[in-house]
Structure 1
Amino acid sequence: MKRFAYLSVLSLLYSAACHADLDRAALSGAAYQLTDQAYQAMARHDDAAAETLVVQARQLQPDSYQLAMLLLDIEMRRGEWNEAEQLSAALLPQLPDDGLLLANSGFIAAQKNRGADARRYFAAALRAPGLDAVQQENVRRALDSIPDVPVQSPTAPSPVVITEAPLDAAYRFLREHDDVQALAMFQKGFAAQPGTPNQYADAAYAAHRLHQNQLSISLFKQALDANQALPAGLQPFDAQQVFNYRNEIQQINRSWGAVASLAYQNSALSSTSVNPLNTLQGSVEAYWQPDDFAGNQDGHLFQLFAGDTETLFDAHGGVTGNSTAQGTLGMRYKPFADMGMMLTAQRLVALGNASFTDTLLRVAYSNAAGAELDVKQTDWRAWQFYTEAAYFVNARRSIDTFEGSYGQAFHLLDTNSRVIVYPHVVLAAEYDSAALNGSAVAAGPGVKLRYWLREDAYNAPASWLDLTLQYRWEPTHTNLLGGWVVRTIFWY
């Protein structure tokens, strides 16, 4: 049977046709977060996880056009033709004139060996609004490829259509998870004719998965340029998608960074059990993540870092300044692409006469939603948490910590603002095996102000400045976590 390249929702998701039966409003809240995770899963070729995430998102926004078409696309990607046929049949009464749905219904019918139905759907798709010139040509080519005689059994081998265009072949190779051939076909197709914004973006992701970072950046830039060149009503990328692609460029470009922080807290880092102290600590860290290292590919992360921490103020008259300088050299590794786990090994070096030398091993896990900049919504639900188990080898000391927050994030002005306000409630817990009263729990209100900076036309903001103010009540009365907490962090 001939193989038909369906119109991927990644290149056709935002067709220009308008229908009232399904809601075309932007996704929001948890549905938006789940959909974003689904796109990330698709970029990793994990279509099964993507399908699960989209199904969950549809339970939250069942009338979303975007989610319906995305689910249809994933089912076709996975070869779930029966499920795709059922979904298409359910959607067609609501969207009888949608060019994208009609075209994909044609490809489904062709895969099910229903040539007459495929012809009918393809012909209707060409009459319907919503397909651009390139998309219409793909449908015409598919229509012309349908044989006049019955096609072979679906169990028979499926040779490629001889007249298959390079860009059609590129998407076929993407479905077969062959990024090398897909990228080659994309480049061949772009040499013959300009691509669409989504075609450039899909090619960029293929290049990124092949660790061709500079080519990936170039293709993402072409995607943004192609989108910008279209009239406002025909641009397939909305403001958030443009921002996401700029963020991809920024992340690919990053090979090093630095972090500086000031923190007022109720206890100081020490090698022995001490009484709680009201202290102000400052720290700096620089890190390097080598581009060509295998640990920095496919969603993993590997960094080498060096830093210094000092106590700048002690309300009880303790040692401050250079005498407390605590140097550190270490490495951290994120072993799972889709899990926020971080493994860290570092050597603490005594730079001052009041600091100490030890080996510190840490296992951390974090997760968040709504923590990134949203350029479409004026406000959105946000939460995040971080938990860590740390062990000082020489001191045989364990410190386990948890901090989580939940609240609503707001643009300070409009959606173009780069200043975000995040009022929240916080829950914190700590266990210190060396402290006399080693277990503490605290909770209370807080507010965080974040300013995003260092961006240009192609790069999303690469840095941010945080100011966090919290007041915590501590029912455990250890004085480890209660009272005022003030933090300032500059991430470069």
Structure 2
Amino acid sequence: MQASAFGIAILWSVPGMSQADQTLPLPLTGSAYRVARQAYGSYDSHRYQASVGYAREAIRQRPDVMSLRLLLASALEAQGDRRAAVRAIDDAIKALGPEPALRARRSALLAIIASGANSPSDPNALTGNMAKTAQRAYRAYAKHDYDDAIAAANEVLAARPDVMPLYLLVIDALTAQGRDLDAYNAVIAATQRGGDKPGLRARRGFIGARLGPVAASEAYDALRRGDTDIAISRARAAIGYAPNVPGARDLLIDALIQANRFDEADQAATDAISANPSALAPWLLRGAIRERLGQRDASLADFAQAMQLQDATQQEQRNGRIVIADMALATGDPQRALDALNGLDPDGDATDLMIAVRRQKARRALTSSVAANTADLPMPQLDCTRIDSGILCTLHPFDPAYAQYAAAARAYDQHDYPLAVAQAREAVRIAPDDPVHRLLLIQALASNGDQAESKQEAANLIESGMIDTLPSMNAAYFASNAEQPALAARYYNEAVRNDELPPSSLLDAGYANLNAGAAPVAASYFRRGIDADNNGDISLQPQQAFETRRTMSELDRTWGVNASVGYRPTGDQTTFVASPGSTADKSVQAGAEAYWRPFGYFDGHTIELYARAYETLYSKAGNTTGTPSLEGALGVRAKPFASQNLVFAFERIVPLGSAVQPDWLGRIAYSNGFGTDLRVDTPSWWTGQLYAEAGHYITHPDNYATFSGELGRSYRLDAIDPHLVAFPYAVLGGDYNTQINNRASMGAGVGVNLRYWFREDAYHAPRSFVDFSLQYRLKIVGDDRAKGVFFNASFSY
């Protein structure tokens, strides 16, 4: 069944998935759609004057749709005004450019006009009743009574088959009725009887240009539903109608390949090359076909010619190189695969990973032998879509799940992540050994919020061994997603050795190495990442750059000095150089400590040797103060878990003053918090911190514990200095001591902290600070040591 003019035009106006270098119009919608429907409906019912009016209005609303321009020309021609039709085509060319369909239509119209159509070329050629019948045919045509015009003309032609103008009249009347197939057959019959006249050639080209796209569309539909016989028949018909109709030759070759009719496919490809030697797809298809037929030398020659063509788009050329590489890999020639991919730099699209995967396979295949298997060659695939003038096809490397992968990629780009996940799953099911599909699935799952499943899919890929077929950067991504930092670090480092690590991945490589326990290597990546940001090679957000410098500060720290002085030390982490334990005395204590990390950062498992001294400066209870209270300590502390700030310490109490007794002390401390560092991305932020410590004196048995929790909001005082931060907060604190009658106490209150950060450079965030803290607490339980004013000043370098 022949599709209506409206149905075909709407199908042709819908953009497809094709990646060819052509701008397709947006689908007709709204008012333009309704008016266009009326224009096509009027044309189909032979109301040509109405069709002209509706077509002009539709063009006014959507001047970019070529099919509307062609409809206007057809309606004007059907009214008998071919010169007006030419003017309409001229207007279309001015608006849309010299599109092939417009130029072909204009040439056909001019040729028909030049042939003297629809008027007797020789008034004396016919006499008597024959002349009267011929005049009746012309009058009927002028009145748009095409049935009578055809009947009268055929009546004359039955007796006088030599009168060519009447053949032209019959053909034009059939065309005006929309009976293109009958008109085309009439052209063929007239040509067989009277020779290939210019007027017949023009009409054959014009009518064939209308029939060709319809037949090509039917071939496309048949191929999509797997009916290769119909696809072959309709593709051949399309080529017969219009030898240059877009896509018909590609569809014919593809249908013959799918039908395993390789000899015919080879001939069809040869015909396509003869028709257009600069087209890329026929060369690639014929090369693949000839490889399948065992014609190796001919196949290599076709592939070599394909690599020399320059008319294809860049992406078509990249896909073509991948097709050639696939054939080379399948036939055991990895070096030829590498040669085909040589010079293809990353382009930011899906072909980047496809190319990288094949390069990796080729490099590994160079060290092993691969047997050729021409019965299972990865034949290239066509991706086709309808356009105004036929079918537009682009060639893609073999992928049994291409349709699902393309749908997933399209959904991902449109941020429809649930659909992207569903389609990517299907692609993985169909082609489970293709890492390109798995990468898209992992990305889609992560974007859809399914982090656990994304991680599991990455782990599955690693366990399958498929990760070894990936290029280093993609393998590093998979390993990172699977939370296997050692494996990720290995691939990042491999990418560096292969000069494949882009500046944008320097920090990722750094954190992978850091989590894998290679802190010095991580520091080198962070340093390079900071340089890349400063040089403009990458663009880090200010806070991201700051956090990178903060990490560098931690990695590079090998020693430090702390000092503090406090009135009734608060038991939080800023008083770590005060006397361990707690007391009911309202006193002022001061102390200082120096520490050394003999192993440096040590993958976050820091070990510190320290020496400390502290004394009591004032005691309300009259306890020992001054030099007699001076107490020293030598100790070691360790942080065994990189991800948890849990610290164990053991130290020797050394009496430096006469009132101090020697002892051994074991301590355990835990701290956690958020928002405790300086921030550069916002002037204020929430801050919370918790510090708890417990200890045991061995020689003179005593157990103690202390804790402090603070929650508030930090404010950067930019008006004074952007390194100065005020932190008002609510506090809950308490302690326990077996040497005090009322062993436990706890209080709550409010406080304010003022901290100034300093000592930073291009690679390090501020590494030192001065801190002042003032609190007032109310007692909750215990004695009076839980309430009142608490003050502390500390210094960290």
Whether these two folds match at TM > 0.5 is yes
CA RMSD of aligned residues (A): 4.2
Q: 1:171 aligns with which of 464, 472, 477?
A: 477
* Structure 1 equivalent of residue 586 of structure 2: 278
Quote the offset at 1:438 in angstroms: 2.1
| 1:316 CA displacement | 4.9
* 1:447 equivalenced with 2:764 (yes/no): no
| 1:240 aligned partner | 543
Closer, same or farther in 2 for the Cα pair 1:170/1:430, shift >3 Å? closer
Residue 703 of structure 2 is matched in structure 1 by: 398
- Where does residue 7 of structure 1 map in the other structure? none
Partner residue, 1:481: 786
Q: Is residue 428 of structure 2 the alignment partner of residue 111 of structure 1? A: yes
Given that 2:605 and 2:638 are in contact with CA atoms closer than 8 Å, whether structure 1 keeps it comes out as yes
Matched, 1:336 2:641: yes
Distance 1:121 1:481, change over 3 A: closer
Please list every run of 5 or more consecutive structure 2 residues that lacks an aligned counterpart in the other structure. Answer: 1-347, 349-403, 441-459, 572-577
Structure 1 counterpart of 2:561: 258
Q: Is the 8 A contact 1:255 1:290 kept in 2?
A: yes
Q: Deviations over 1:296-325 (max 9, x none)?
A: 644323222110011122345543222111
> Matched residue pairs, number?
368
Instruction: Note closer, same or farther for the CA distance 1:387–1:266 as it changes in structure 2 (3 Å cut).
Output: closer
Cα deviation 1:432-484 (Å, max 9, x = unaligned): 11112222221111000111111111111111211000111224462323211
Partner of 1:58: none
- The higher relative CO (CA closer than 8 Å, separation ≥ 6) is in 1
Q: Is the 8 A contact 2:424 2:437 kept in 1?
A: no
Give the structure 1 partner of residue 776 of structure 2.
Answer: 471
Paired residues for 1:311-330 under 5 Å: 311-330=616-635
Is 2:673 the partner of 1:368?
yes
Determine which structure has the larger helix proportion and give its number: 2
Name the residue aligned to 2:507.
201
Of the structure 1 ranges 398-407 and 221-230, higher mean CA displacement relative to structure 2 is found in 221-230
Rounded to whole Å, the distance in 1 between the matches of 2:732 and 2:489 is 47
Equivalent-residue separation in structure 2 for 1:327 and 1:155 (angstroms):
54
C-alpha deviation, 1:327, in angstroms: 0.6
The secondary structure found in structure 2 opposite 1:244 is helix
CA offset at residue 218 of structure 1?
Answer: 1.6
Larger radius of gyration: 2
Of 460, 472, 496 in structure 2, the residue corresponding to residue 190 of structure 1 is 496
Please point out which of 595, 600, 607 is paired with 1:287. Answer: 595
- 1:359 counterpart SS class: strand
Q: 8 Å contact 1:266–1:482 — kept in the other structure?
A: no
Q: Is 1:346 aligned with 2:651?
A: yes
Identity of aligned residues (%): 30
In structure 2, how many angstroms separate the alpha carbons of the residues matched to 1:413 and 1:335?
A: 38
The equivalences for 1:63-212 within 5 A come to: 96-97=413-414, 110-113=427-430, 159=466, 164-172=470-478, 174=480, 182-183=488-489, 185-190=491-496, 193=499, 195-212=501-518
User: In structure 2, what is the Cα distance between the partners aligned to 1:242 and 1:368?
Assistant: 21
Match in the other structure for 1:28: none
The 3 A distance-change label for structure 1 pair 346 and 171 is same
Q: How does 1:388-467 map to 2 (within 5 A)?
A: 388-413=693-718, 417-467=722-772
8 Å contact from structure 2 (residues 585, 620) kept in 1? yes
| Closer, same or farther: CA 490–373 of 1 in aligned 2, 3 Å | same
Consecutive unaligned residues of structure 1, counting only runs of 5 or more, are 1-14, 16-84, 124-152
Alpha-carbon spacing, 1:301–1:273, altered in 2? closer, same or farther (3 Å): closer
Q: Which of 609, 621, 644 pairs up with 1:304?
A: 609
Counterparts of residues 1-40 of structure 1 (less than 5 Å):
none
| Contact 2:468-2:475 at 8 Å conserved across structures | no
Helix, strand or coil: the match of 1:217?
helix
CA distance in 2, matches of 1:270, 1:248: 30
- Matches of 1:370 and 1:101, distance apart in 2: 35
- Measured at CA, do residues 477 and 169 of structure 1 come closer, stay the same or move farther in structure 2, by a change above 3 Å? closer
What is the deviation of 1:193? 4.3
Secondary structure of the structure 2 residue equivalent to 1:361? strand
Whether the 8 Å CA contact 1:378–1:414 is kept in 2: the answer is no
Asked whether the equivalents of residues 331 and 345 of structure 1 are also in contact (C-alpha less than 8 Å), the reply is yes
Cα separation, 1, equivalents of 2:699 and 2:439:
71
Structure 1 residue matching 2:524: 3-state secondary structure: helix
Higher strand share: 1
- What secondary structure does 1:480 align onto? helix
Q: Is the 8 A contact 1:348 1:357 kept in 2?
A: yes
The structure-2 alpha-carbon separation of the partners of 1:106 and 1:188, relative to structure 1 and needing over 3 Å to count, comes to: farther
Q: 1:175 to 1:272 in 2, by over 3 A?
A: closer
1-side partners of 2:786 and 2:635: how far apart?
Answer: 27
Counterpart of 2:523 in structure 1: which amino acid?
I
Q: Which amino acid aligns with 1:113?
A: I
Which residue identity lines up with residue 423 of structure 1 in the other structure? P
For 2:643 and 2:752, the matched residues in 1 are separated by 29
SS in 1 for 2:779: coil
